[in-house]
Amino acid sequence: MNKKHVVWSLLKGKGLSIKKITNLAKLLYSYISKNMGVGGYPAFLMVEPTNLCNLKCPLCPTGNNSLKAPRGFMDLKNYKKIIDELQDYLIHLSLWDFGEPFLHKDIYKMIGYAKEKGIFVQISTNGHFFKNKKNIKKLVGTGIDNLIICLDGASQKTFSMYRRGGNFNTVIGNIKEIVLEKKKQEQKTPFVELQFVVMKHNEHEIPKIKKISKDIGADKLSLKTVTFDMYPGGEKKCNKYLPKDEKLSRYIRDKTGIKRKEKIRNSCLRLWFSSVINWDGSVVPCCYDPNRIWQFGNIFKEGTFKGVWNNEKYKNFRRRILTNKKAVPMCKNCTGKLIRKLN
């Protein structure tokens, strides 16, 4: 989304306190100094309300049933404990990971609770759960900052090739209703961001999706590159989904096959600035670890996030990334820095 909008939202909501800015400085110092034990706490956090979904997207471990992690929903009380513990440090909260967040019965309470604490909140959704106008009113009323709606096609035909089980017209209609409700409530939020993952079967629709985005009143259209690295058999799917135009890709083709565009470097900001908490309290380094291969602990079982953040497992993983990132399978081909917004 627009960076100016992020800053405006934080300032309006008094989200940038002196304590949060000081914490951010501690994180930066720890990163630059290469301290394995981080001096502050995450300024950016991803919390997974659920890893269940209504769609069957072929490159998603939830959708293609390759997910080995247990399925379920985060308990609201446990969620509040996370926010209460980290509210003095958190600047930005992403409420999703490997599931559809609006399947959670308490999702509006989750959003509202974080907003009450002055945290910038964004959610990514497939946009199918807003048929009930009461839900749309609740959504706008929560004060959520950024709503990312995945619309990977400009027609039902292309949309359903990836968002299997989805309905293009339903999503379009729901977006229109959200935009209308914002006007009714005279609210600038949520910032409605359409996300279009560019693939071989839909790259020709970019001009059309730009027009649709404008016509339905979205605040922004983001063209996102597709990734394969974290999924079993991902490389084999490249030829099916990778765009023909390499300008629209994180990868390049050569005689040896398909490679990421940039060389891997022994560094990762995420390990010092952010973390991921799954629905059951398990903590992993980032969203590239759906099966929790590098789980550092469980905050619901161990009591606090702070007890996990600088434990030996976390510190050893940071050390490993700084010395030999290629030795970690999920990191050796990481395209996290290449998640380009193409427009």
State how far the Cα of 49 lies from the Cα of 71, in Å rounded to an integer.
11
Per-residue pLDDT at 338: 47
Eight-class DSSP state of 99: S
Give the other-Cβ count within 10 Å of 89's Cβ.
Answer: 22
Per-residue pLDDT at 186: 93
Write down the domain spans for the chain: 3-338
Angle (nearest 5°) at CA 145 between 141 and 151: 100
Per-residue pLDDT at 297: 96
CATH 3.20.20.70 matches 3-338: yes
pLDDT in tens, 87-118: 999 999 999 999 999 999 999 999 999 999 99
Closest Cα partner for 318 from 259, 251, 269, 256?
269
CA distances to 43, 44, 153, 219, 317 from 271, in Å: 11, 11, 34, 31, 9
Positions in the chain whose pLDDT score sits under 50 = 1, 8, 230, 338
Dihedral (CA of 158, 162, 166, 169) sign: negative
Q: Length of the chain, please?
A: 343
Please say whether the beta carbons of 107 and 139 come within 8 A. no
277 CB burial (10 A radius; 0-12, 13-18, 19+): buried
Per-residue pLDDT at 340: 53
